[in-house]
Amino acid sequence: MNNHFDYVLEIMDRNRKRVGQLPARINFEPASEAAAFGAQRTAHPSVHHPGRRMTIEPVPHATAGSPFCGGFRVVIEADGMDPFMREFSSDYFRAAAVDGSAELVKKGLLRDGDPFHYLVAAYPRTAAPAAPSRIVVRELVKTLPLREGRLSELTAQSVSFGECTDADAPVYIPQVVIEQANALTERAGDRET
């Protein structure tokens, strides 16, 4: 997900007098998932494209002017296709504004329980130098051994795990593989393995 903007909340008192400015701590994942589900519901081709890109863009505010925004949109793009877009209003920032107002109450700039207004501003991020990659990807081509056998014999020797229905295709994992995976996981401790 690409987001090239920092979002800031302008908090104002009931008379619309500016009280403070706070960074908007926003999780855009739920919005991007909602946009992807919307694209799936309309059978938009970009949602299944392997080269798809998601971008968060501010939507200009109807009256306040730049840098204020009336919300944001999630854009799903893929080469050679029209983009899919879903817009979210500034209500998406409400929880962040409420959390931020608590900081202003602690500083004495607002009183607890006072009504307040907020505007969302979007500022372009300055490009940071690219960090060197810490991940190296190598392709290892390894042919898997095949062995002759009957599916009924494998099923008779197996232990079922999880919920199975007749429509499910069976997957057989040798016990030694499960034991090796468990041993690697235990040795790794809190590292992802």
pLDDT digits (tens, 9 = 90+) for 145-155: 787 888 888 88
Please tell me the predicted confidence (pLDDT) of residue 144.
78
Segment 19-67, tens digit of pLDDT: 888 888 888 999 998 988 888 888 887 777 777 888 999 999 988 888 8
Bigger pLDDT: 100 vs 75:
75
Q: Identify the burial level of 93 via C-beta atoms within 10 angstroms of its C-beta, where 0-12 means exposed, 13-18 middle and 19 or more buried.
A: buried
Please tell me the predicted confidence (pLDDT) of residue 74.
92
Distance CA(150)–CA(165), nearest Å, equals 20
Closest by CA to 46, choosing from 88, 86, 87, 79, is 79
Please tell me the predicted confidence (pLDDT) of residue 87.
93
Residue 131: pLDDT over 70: no
In degrees, rounded to 5, the angle at the alpha carbon of residue 54 between the alpha carbons of residues 53 and 55 is 120
**DSSP secondary structure letter of residue 74:** E
Please tell me the predicted confidence (pLDDT) of residue 56.
93
